């Protein structure tokens, strides 16, 4: 039972991460390779602030999310300066710099990681067991989905999508495309940050190996496989990613090979999708 | 003083090996417009093939040739089945980058599945010489000689066959190039194969020194990609020079700080160049409006 709940919590975390990446990739067309950076800042933020300040859970939580948003401003600065391939490469550089910093810094305790991270405390009730965490993460997903549902029908979101489709047209309307990219990135950072705090509290131990370039690529491919630009896409992608190894287990494939096979299947689906439906991903509309 | 000379010598040797990856990566990127991160997969594939064949008792030369042939076949398949159709459809370069990453994931995990993820070592007897206080291993001498040989062959090879003009034409404007009679499909496949063969040589040179594991191709490819962004000009001399300088920079950091910072600082340079000098540090002189 606990194992199923553990899988459920992981699934919920990946759903949040994929929804966050979808905001950038699907609605703003920013193929970022630094998804794990914001996730990591959320996780390390809660770990460092809660252990150094010792003032409950929620003030460190707000500080951690605040750090993610500051990082979001850096990403939006990059998005304002370079586009397309060079944006992807710049975020790739940020990802590697981030890993290098958390691996070497005294503050993050280097490769040893940080243990004993505080658990969330909701109205005096401490959340500890996998069951409680799955409910806690589920509540966050509900909040995020309700918020996004409302947000997607707002005029602001239409302009975000318009910025992706045709930046110059948006400029012609007298609107600043950089502003809409920034909003999109900040929302994405907010959601990733929440996922990071949930992961850190749930695992109660974090180290740099959870926030590598591979993780960033993985999150991005979850979105692309599920289908970007719709709310259901990232959820489907996360389901496929989490449930695939369980299916392989049923087929009696040894665990070591199953891990490789999962990545091979994932890579294969990814390549086939970008090969045969490239425009379905960035969704550039062209007039014929 | 001796330590400085040692660092400089080591940097020249490893910079030369790096430049083999850089030349392949840079030419492939500029000519085919694919940010070919699967180059890391080719590097690993070639090295593993070399390890397996020497393990089976084959002569090293035969093993190398087989490794190169296998990698060439794979890259030709990738080019024909994935890259070329995507470019023909005018796919965004960042999407081809994702395709390339997917290919890398497939190749590396296939290798890990069949051969395991541990470090494979090719046994060779290493002798150490000491010249004026600088320690030189026989592997370094092999790397220096083979590296120089490959670079020279590549440089004069593309010059004498006039391939470099075709490459520059396609890199600059493939449609115009085709109008003037350059077969762009052929040139693309050719540079992919040549780049991969050079990458396999770099892989073998690395394998004889420190061995090979499935994921070790990525780091060197990312460094090569950094040089390819710093130097956007198709010029072998500058590519080698910048590779050696970058390696020198990394080795200096490794000596004074530690090995993990070197990646962070390398990519900080890359980030600054992307943000403030997107056309690269060494680029073609463009006529200003």
Give the ipTM: 0.83
Which of B41, B93, B109 to substitute to test the interface with A, most A CBs within 10 Å? B109
Distance CA A247, CA A54 (A): 43
Nearest to A263 among B86, B103, B105 (CB): B105
Flag whether pLDDT at A58 surpasses 90: no
Q: Give the strand pairing for A205-206 and A114-115.
A: antiparallel
Distance CA A144, CA B223 (A): 38
Q: Which H/E stretch holds residue A166?
A: none
Helices A35-53 and A213-226 pack at an angle, to 10 degrees, of 120
A119 in B contact zone (CB under 8 Å): no
Lowest mean pLDDT among B6-15, B61-70, B170-179: B170-179
Cα B158 from chain centre? 17
pLDDT band at A278 (very low <50, low <70, confident <90, very high): low
Q: Give A161 to chain B, closest Cα distance, Å.
A: 18
Architecture per CATH, B2-280: Orthogonal Bundle (1.10)
Flag whether pLDDT at A283 surpasses 60: no
Nearest to A278 among B86, B104, B270 (CB): B86
B103 in A contact zone (CB under 8 Å): yes
> Is A4:A160 a contact under the CB 8 Å cutoff?
no
Q: Which tokens belong to B214?
A: 């499935």
A217 in B contact zone (CB under 8 Å): yes
Q: Which tokens belong to A198?
A: 């949930």
Flag whether pLDDT at A284 surpasses 50: no
Q: Give B129 to chain A, closest Cα distance, Å.
A: 35
Q: Where are the domains of chain A?
A: 2-212
B256 in A contact zone (CB under 8 Å): no
A277 or A62: which leads in pLDDT: A62
A210 in B contact zone (CB under 8 Å): no
Q: What is the largest CA-CA distance in chain A?
A: 61
Q: What is the model's pLDDT at position A120? A: 80
Q: Where are the domains of chain B?
A: 2-280
* Average pLDDT estimate for B141-160: 88
Flag whether pLDDT at A281 surpasses 70: no
For residues A66, A71, A76 and A81, what is the CA-based torsion angle, rounded to 10 degrees? 150
> Is B31:B187 a contact under the CB 8 Å cutoff?
yes
pLDDT band at A186 (very low <50, low <70, confident <90, very high): very high
Place of tokens 């070591």: A256
Flag whether pLDDT at A110 surpasses 70: yes
pLDDT band at A288 (very low <50, low <70, confident <90, very high): very low
Flag whether pLDDT at B39 surpasses 80: yes
CA neighbours within 13 Å on the CB side: how many for B64? 15
What phi, psi does B168 have (nearest 5°)?
-65, -35
Cβ atoms within 10 Å, residue A56 = 12
**Among A49-53, A203-207, A223-227, B37-41, which range has the highest average pLDDT?**
B37-41
**Among A54-68, B41-55, B82-96, B175-189, which range has the highest average pLDDT?**
B41-55
Q: What is the DSSP code string of B168-214?
A: HHHHH-HHHHHHTT--HHHHHHHHHHHHHHHHHHHHHHHHHHH-B-T
Number of inter-chain CB pairs under 8 A, A vs B = 126
Q: B260 vs A100: CB contact, 8 Å cut-off?
A: yes
Q: What is the model's pLDDT at position B253? A: 85
pTM reported for the whole predicted model = 0.86
Q: Which residues contact B163 (CB under 8 A, 6 or more apart)?
A: B157, B187, B190
A105 in B contact zone (CB under 8 Å): no
* Average pLDDT estimate for B94-115: 87
Distance CA B34, CA B31 (A): 8
A85 in B contact zone (CB under 8 Å): yes
């Amino acid at each position: 039972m606990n194992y199923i709940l553990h899988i459920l919590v992981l699934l919920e975390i990946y759903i949040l991460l994929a929804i966050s990446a979808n905001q950038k990739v699907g609605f703003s067309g920013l193929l970022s390779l630094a998804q794990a950076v914001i996730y990591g800042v959320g996780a390390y933020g809660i770990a460092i602030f809660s252990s150094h300040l010792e003032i409950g859970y929620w003030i460190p939580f707000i500080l951690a999310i605040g750090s993610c948003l500051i990082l979001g401003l850096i990403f939006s600065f990059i998005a304002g300066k370079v586009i397309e391939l060079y944006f992807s490469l710049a975020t790739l550089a940020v990802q590697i710099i981030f890993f290098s910093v958390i691996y070497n810094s005294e503050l993050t305790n280097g490769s040893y990681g940080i243990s004993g991270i505080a658990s969330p405390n909701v109205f005096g009730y401490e959340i500890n067991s996998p069951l409680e965490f799955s409910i806690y993460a589920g509540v966050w997903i509900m909040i995020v989905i309700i918020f996004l549902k409302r947000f997607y029908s707002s005029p602001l979101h239409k302009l975000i999508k318009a910025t992706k489709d045709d930046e110059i047209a948006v400029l012609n309307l007298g609107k600043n495309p950089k502003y809409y990219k920034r909003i999109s990135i900040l929302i994405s950072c907010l959601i990733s940050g929440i996922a990071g705090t949930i992961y850190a509290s749930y695992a109660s131990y974090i180290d740099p190996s959870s926030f590598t370039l591979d993780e960033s690529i993985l999150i991005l491919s979850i979105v692309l496989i599920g289908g970007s630009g719709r709310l259901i896409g990232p959820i489907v992608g996360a389901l496929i990613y989490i449930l695939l190894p369980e299916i392989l287990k049923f087929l009696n494939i040894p665990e070591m090979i199953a891990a490789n096979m999962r990545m091979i299947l994932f890579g294969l689906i990814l390549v086939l999708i970008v090969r045969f439906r490239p425009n379905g991903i960035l969704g550039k509309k062209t007039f014929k | 003083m001796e330590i400085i000379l040692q660092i400089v010598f080591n940097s020249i040797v490893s910079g030369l090996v790096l430049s083999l990856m850089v030349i392949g990566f840079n030419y492939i990127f500029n000519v085919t417009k694919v940010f070919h991160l699967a180059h890391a997969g080719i590097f690993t594939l070639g090295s593993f093939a070399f390890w397996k064949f020497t393990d089976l008792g084959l002569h090293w030369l035969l093993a190398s040739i087989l490794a190169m042939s296998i990698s060439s076949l794979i890259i030709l398949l990738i080019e024909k089945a994935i890259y070329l159709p995507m470019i023909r459809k005018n796919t965004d370069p960042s999407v081809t980058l994702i395709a390339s990453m997917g290919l890398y994931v497939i190749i590396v995990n296939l290798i890990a599945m069949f051969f395991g993820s541990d470090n494979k070592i090719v046994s060779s007897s290493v002798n150490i010489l000491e010249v004026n206080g600088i320690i030189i291993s026989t592997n370094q001498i092999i790397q220096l000689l083979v590296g120089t040989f490959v670079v020279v062959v590549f440089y004069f090879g593309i010059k004498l066959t006039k391939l470099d003009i075709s490459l520059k034409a396609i890199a600059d404007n493939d449609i115009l190039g085709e109008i003037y009679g350059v077969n762009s499909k052929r040139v693309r496949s050719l540079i992919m194969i040549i780049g991969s063969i050079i990458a396999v040589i770099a892989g073998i040179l690395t394998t004889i020194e420190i061995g090979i594991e499935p994921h070790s191709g990525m780091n060197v490819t990312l460094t090569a990609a950094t040089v390819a962004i710093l130097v956007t000009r198709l010029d072998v001399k500058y590519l080698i020079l910048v590779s050696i300088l970058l390696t020198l920079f990394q080795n200096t950091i490794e000596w004074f700080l530690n090995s993990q910072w070197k990646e962070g600082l390398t990519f900080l340079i890359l980030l600054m160049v992307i943000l403030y000098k997107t056309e690269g540090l060494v680029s073609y002189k463009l006529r200003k409006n």
